[in-house]
């Protein structure tokens, strides 16, 4: 992967903040390829891989899967794809994710889109998502919020200190959030 030159934007924010929804819009407007770490892990479970059971148990508990596993999936997806612009959604989720990705791939994000959303709004959205996800129940949601606060927010702070975070208020209608997202992308391209 160190031989492929790619542009990467990390898309971060709490569970249910609207990362996947906005990534779909960004793909249509800006020609990025969307890679959701959570989607890749769920696909790995479905494929019947030897790690499947471990991944499934961790997702059910809202825990972060070891970086080695997630990075392998992201790396493969980037290499298999002809595009050179990627939105990496839901990754890095903790310090281990961040440091390992950087040293394994040599990739530094162009910037970080951060969807900022109050917990009660995220909870409402997750409980209404209706995609049959095993982690969209109130017990797991509480665990995911705790992991987000303790492990994921520090990663956002890390990039913030480097001036790389573009923060978007996410507790608005989808179209309004996307207007702010567009502004964040346009100012980068200059």
- Binding-site residues for a ribonucleoside 5'-phosphate, in ranges, read 42, 63-65, 90-93, 133, 144
- Please report how close the Cβ of residue 145 comes to ligand C5P at its closest, in angstroms: 10
Give the annotated binding-site residues for CMP: 97
DSSP 89: E
Mark 9-48 with x for binding to Mg ion (rule: CB under 5 A) and - for no binding: ----------xx----------------------------
- Please report how close the Cβ of residue 74 comes to ligand C5P at its closest, in angstroms: 9
Q: Which of 36, 71, 42, 39 is nearest to 55 (CA)?
A: 42
Tokens of 29: 């407007």
Candidates 26-34, 51-59, 99-107, 173-181 — which segment interacts with ligand ADP by CB under 6 A?
173-181
> Does residue number 63 form part of the binding site for ligand C5P (CB under 6 A)?
yes
Q: What residues from 13 to 72 belong to the interface with ligand ADP (CB under 6 A)?
A: 13, 15-21
**1 vs 69 by CB, closer to ligand C5P:** 69
Which one among 59, 113, 168, 181 touches ligand C5P, defined by CB under 6 A? Answer: 59
3-state secondary structure 157-181: HHHHHCCCEEEEECCCCHHHHHHHH
How far apart are the C-alpha atoms of 26 and 38, rounded to whole Å?
18
Determine the longest span between alpha carbons in the chain, in angstroms.
45
Residues 6+ apart with CB under 8 A from 180: 168, 169
**4 vs 142 by CB, closer to ligand ADP:** 142
How far apart are the C-alpha atoms of 133 and 93, rounded to whole Å?
19
- Classified as helix, coil or strand, 90 is coil
Binding residues for ligand ADP (CB under 6 A): 13, 15-21, 125, 128-129, 173-174, 177
């Amino acid at each position: 992967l160190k031989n492929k030159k790619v542009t990467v934007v990390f898309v971060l924010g709490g569970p249910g903040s609207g990362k996947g929804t906005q990534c779909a819009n960004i793909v249509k407007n800006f020609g990025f390829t969307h890679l959701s770490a959570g989607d890749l892990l769920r696909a790995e479970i479905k494929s019947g891989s030897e790690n499947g059971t471990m991944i499934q148990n961790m997702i059910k508990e809202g825990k972060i899967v070891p970086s080695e596993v997630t990075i392998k999936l992201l790396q493969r997806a980037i290499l298999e794809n002809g595009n050179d612009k990627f939105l990496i959604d839901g990754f890095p989720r903790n310090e281990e994710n961040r440091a390992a990705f950087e040293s394994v791939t040599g990739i530094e994000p162009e910037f970080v889109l951060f969807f900022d959303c109050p917990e009660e709004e995220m909870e409402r959205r997750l409980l209404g998502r209706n995609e049959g996800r095993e982690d969209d129940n109130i017990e797991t949601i509480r665990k995911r919020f705790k992991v987000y606060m303790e492990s994921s927010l520090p990663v956002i702070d890390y990039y913030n200190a480097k001036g790389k975070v573009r923060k978007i208020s996410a507790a608005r209608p989808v179209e309004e959030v996307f207007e702010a997202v567009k502004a964040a992308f346009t100012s980068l391209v200059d």
